[in-house]
């Protein structure tokens, strides 16, 4: 079992979007028994909350459900529990490394560094542009799934 954790600041916009899109791609490829996906926040601000309305409605447009998803905060034990711990932007990556006490570990990296975009995922909490975020998240998830499939 390969375990993937997406991390952003609030765990209501970007990382739950990546979690839901990645799970959808995995289901469509029949790989659900091999790859598990989760997401978490750096902050404690939205613990227990469902994804942001903008994330919910954008995903709904693409037939992807967010039912049952709830925000949670990154914990130290996540370092052992996951094979990939992926920050949605470079601040997230820096904060993950600090919190987990892992300045160099290759399992912690920035999401879009897997793609030709090589940039932060813009935060739609501030930009309001959930489409831009969705398009980048889809690219990143496809790249991540290709990388994982090579290791299966």
Angstrom distances, CA of residue 113 to CA of 50, 51, 73:
27, 24, 23
9 binds ligand 4NP (CB under 6 A): yes
98-103 contacts: CB < 8 A, separation 24 or more?
A: 99/42, 99/74, 100/74, 100/76, 101/76
- For residue 73, the 8-state DSSP code is B
The C-alpha atoms of residue 16 and residue 127 are separated, in whole angstroms, by 17
Query: Annotated active-site positions, please?
Result: 8, 14, 123
CA dihedral 103, 107, 112, 115 (to 10 degrees): 130
Percent composition of the chain: helix, strand, coil (DSSP 3-state, to 5):
45, 15, 40
Instruction: Quote the least distance from Cβ 133 to ligand 4NP, whole Å.
Output: 8
Instruction: Quote the least distance from Cβ 71 to ligand 4NP, whole Å.
Output: 8
Measured from the CB atom, is 4 or 8 closer to ligand 4NP? 8
Measured from the CB atom, is 29 or 62 closer to ligand 4NP? 62
Instruction: Quote the least distance from Cβ 102 to ligand 4NP, whole Å.
Output: 21
Residues 31 to 50: which contact ligand 4NP by CB under 6 A? 45
Instruction: Pick the binder of ligand 4NP from 6, 10, 19, 22 (CB under 6 A).
Output: 10
Instruction: Pick the binder of ligand 4NP from 49, 94, 125, 143 (CB under 6 A).
Output: 125
What the block records as the tokens of 12 is 């209501």
11 binds ligand 4NP (CB under 6 A): yes
Residues that bind ligand 4NP (CB under 6 A): 8-14, 45, 123, 125
């Amino acid at each position: 079992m390969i375990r993937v954790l997406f991390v952003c600041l609030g765990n209501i916009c970007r990382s739950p979007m990546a979690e839901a899109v990645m799970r959808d791609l995995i289901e469509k490829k029949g790989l659900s028994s091999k790859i598990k996906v989760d997401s978490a926040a750096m902050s404690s601000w939205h613990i227990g909350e469902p994804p942001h309305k903008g994330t919910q409605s954008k995903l709904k447009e693409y037939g992807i459900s967010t039912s049952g998803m709830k925000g949670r905060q990154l914990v130290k034990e996540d370092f052992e529990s996951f094979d990939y711990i992926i920050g949605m932007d470079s601040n997230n990556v820096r904060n993950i490394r600090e919190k987990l006490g892992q300045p160099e570990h290759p399992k912690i990296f920035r999401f879009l560094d897997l793609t030709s975009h090589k940039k932060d995922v813009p935060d739609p909490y501030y930009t309001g542009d959930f489409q831009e975020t969705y398009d980048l998240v889809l690219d990143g998830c496809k790249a991540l799934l290709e990388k994982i499939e090579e290791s299966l």
